Amino acid sequence: MVRDVRMRGFADRADLEEVEAFLDRHVRTLPSESVPLLDCFERVLSEPIKSEVDVPSFPRSAMDGYALRGEETFGASDYDGIRFDVIGTSLPGAPFLSRVAPGQAVRIMTGAPVPEGADVVVMAEVCEESEGGEAVLVSEAVPPKKNVGVVGEDIQRGDLILSPGRRLRPQDAGVLASVGRASIPCVRRPKVRLLVTGDELLPAGSMPGGVHIVDSNSVVLRGLLARDGAEVLPFEILPDVPEMIRGVMAANDSDVVLVSGGSSVGQEDHAPRLLAELGTLDFHGISMRPSSPAGIGRIEERFVFLLPGNPVSCLAAYEFFAGPTLRRLGGRSGRWPHRRVRLPLARKIVSSIGRTDYVRVAIEDKMVRPIATSGASILSSTVRASGAVIVPREQEGMGEGEEVEVLLYDDELGSSEFDQKEKVESP
């Protein structure tokens, strides 16, 4: 059902939980695609990966030394070494191809194939090679299989290596390479059409002047989108011209459309009406601070998020609604990706029952201090902040001394004033 913003404005705001439940019902993971091995880092695996080979596929030396028959070293000591004839060398990629007979040894390097007939590698430190290299004296008894990596020691044929839903790390990609995978089945990255509107905006990188301001929302959003594994399509700032906004919004080339600015009920706020005409405006006006003018809807299968133009409101609306949706589309967890810490409040946080508050806070002397300003246009407050505290709508603020959970902006604590690493939780 479309909310008629021209008639009711924001007199009837949706609760945060209602919006989140709506997204939970409608968001589905995107289909799979084949990704080249070298590009799979940070992608989400969509299918189980089983090995079709043994790793290693041959017995290999675990150190530099001599390959020989282990039982022939029994009785060797520092005072009574046992002599072996050196008949060749085995190197990684250049194995010794003949069989090792009794009384013989092959010089071998770490990772090289152990030749047929040998079952042990005696480390070089307990061996003394003759001046001409034709013989070696072994001064330590070494049991068979010592210092030899057996076939399949690392991975055996048929082993389940990685399960679906795993976000691939560098070492995961390395293991995939080791079993010969050239392409990896991954969840498709969500494509995002970023629509930034405003006659007053200058492109990022410009110098502000006169009555114009520089677009900072697209810069913040691009960073958040990269964090959440999305692919951002090329974009440009649009003036507040309805037909231009309509054309970009209607383009069927993305999974999600993010509209920055023009989301409220003012004269130049065209996005809600256009979304209602093109698809459904499922929510417009949410009982939260900041970001109350945020809107959410759909055009066919595409999600559209109307993010307020004020920078902090834009950030908060993205974190609450767009971010979790994009992560889930891409096969990741919808949970906020911030590290968390619990610390006491240095002074109270004032809120109102029935409204969810996103409060910027600083951490000083192991205490949480709300940032003084509440202005949604003060982006610098997020730079001064260590993170944010979310006040649920059923609470009338939080009292001084109360322990609260802080969603940290930084992956690293990075502060001499905050060193309680043991209290930090990963998401």
Domains of the chain and any CATH numbers: 5-31+189-329 (3.40.980.10), 32-55+153-187 (3.90.105.10), 60-149 (2.170.190.11), 340-425 (2.40.340.10)
Q: Which long-range contacts (CB under 8 A, 24 or more apart) does 415-421 make?
A: 415/363, 415/386, 417/363, 417/364, 417/365, 417/366, 418/363, 418/366, 418/386, 420/341, 420/343, 420/366
Contact assessment for residue 100 and residue 70, using Cβ atoms and an 8 Å cutoff: no
Cα dihedral angle (216, 222, 223, 227), rounded to 10 degrees? 150
d(CA 199, CA 29): 36
Report the candidate in 187, 177, 169, 186 with the shortest Cα–Cα distance to residue 51. Answer: 177
What letters, b where the CB count within 10 A reaches 16 and e where it falls short, cover 382-392?
beebbbbbbbe
Give the tokens for residue 95.
Answer: 């194995």
Place of tokens 């698809």: 279
Give pLDDT tens digits along the chain (427 positions). 444 444 345 557 999 999 999 999 999 999 999 999 999 999 999 999 999 999 999 999 999 999 999 999 999 999 999 999 999 999 999 999 999 999 999 999 999 999 999 999 999 999 999 999 999 999 999 999 999 999 999 999 999 999 999 999 999 999 999 999 999 999 999 999 999 988 889 888 899 988 898 999 999 999 999 999 999 999 889 988 999 999 999 999 999 999 998 766 666 678 999 999 999 999 999 999 999 999 999 999 999 999 998 899 999 999 999 999 999 999 999 999 999 999 999 999 999 999 999 999 999 999 999 987 656 667 788 888 999 999 999 999 999 999 999 999 986 443 434 343 333 344 4
Q: Rounded CA gap, 135 and 206, in Å?
A: 75
What is the pLDDT, as a whole number, of residue 199? 87
How confident is the model at residue 263, as a pLDDT? 67
d(CA 328, CA 201): 32
Q: What is the pLDDT of residue 177?
A: 97
Q: What is the rounded distance in angstroms from the CA atom of residue 285 to the CA atom of residue 162?
A: 43
What is the DSSP secondary-structure string of 364-410? ETTEEEE-S---TT-THHHHH-SEEEEE-TT---B-TT-EEEEEES-
